[in-house]
Amino acid sequence: MTAGSTPRRRARPIGRRTPRGRLPLVLLVMATLVVVLLALLGPLAVPHSPTALLGAPFQQPDAEFPLGTDALGRDVVSRVLAGGRTLVLTALAGTAAAGAVGLTAGVLAAMASRRLGDLLVRCVDALAVLPPLLVVLVLAAGFPGSTTVVVAAVALATAPFSTRVLRAAADTVLTSGYVEAARARGDTRRAVLRHDVLPNIAGPALTDAALRLVASLHLTATAGFLGLGRGGGTPDWGRMVSENAPGATLAVLPFLAPVLPLVLLSVCVGLLADVVGRGTA
């Protein structure tokens, strides 16, 4: 380092904690991984065909059907194991797309001139005016049976909020003293972006992605609940709630079985976002 130069600010490590403070984080990560693995690997472990009619509607649990049967007599265990993969992958894909759009638009808006940055954010804000569920309904209803459209709808519904959050984070970095010193010594905009902006907004970007994942899970499950996306009896946790809600008083397990992993995953991801946010604040 030459005399008179100003060292760059290092990005704060994410999740640095004492051994005692790591325990809640480890438990949250483990619970999240369990649900994600259940969703992704569940179709490989189904004991019966998830679409076959195997018994009477709302049959009580027994040795063959540990959680009973659903409204049409299909095995609830098989449908729960097979019904999470598409939902989780759709939510993850929507979150990744929204994060990419939000990061790109937010950083560009922060590094551009104030007028151009405000114009870019206003264009993105036009999407935020629409209720997220309405965006999902319009796009998914226009292209019935398409999971890709659900991904696009989820991304469009959540990207505007990521853009604002990440623009604010990038603005904070760009107005700091070490960035001003970097510019004064002749660093290019690309160097500032690579060495100063992106490393120091990684924490807020990760926290925002976790929060957007919760929103994406809710929207994707809602799309399934409303019968959007893949049809033809394909198992889906959201659709299973809708199918079995009318008979919840007769057999509660077919209704609760898909709800519990959804709730657990959403809560764990939300708490992880809070832990990461505290660790990078």
SS3 call for 277: helix
Residue 4 — φ and ψ, nearest 5°?
85, -5
Q: What pLDDT is attached to residue 2?
A: 47
Single-letter amino acid code for the residue at 131: P
Residue with tokens 């797309």, as numbered in its chain: 97
Count of C-beta atoms within a 10 Å radius of residue 220: 32
Residue 173 near residue 141 (C-beta atoms within 8 A): no
How many whole angstroms separate alpha carbon 24 and alpha carbon 20? Answer: 8
Alpha-carbon torsion angle 265, 266, 271, 276, nearest 10: 90
Q: What pLDDT is attached to residue 92?
A: 93
243-250 long-range contacts (CB < 8 A, ≥24 apart) are 243/70, 243/71, 243/72, 244/70, 244/71, 246/71, 247/57, 247/58, 247/71, 250/58
Residue with tokens 């095995």, as numbered in its chain: 75
Low-confidence residues in the chain, pLDDT < 50: 1-6, 13-15
Residue 191 near residue 182 (C-beta atoms within 8 A): yes
Q: What pLDDT is attached to residue 3?
A: 46
Residue with tokens 């009318």, as numbered in its chain: 246
Q: What pLDDT is attached to residue 28?
A: 82
pTM across the whole model: 0.83
Q: For 276, which DSSP code?
A: H
Residue 179 near residue 118 (C-beta atoms within 8 A): no
Residue 69 — φ and ψ, nearest 5°?
-120, 165
SS3 call for 69: strand
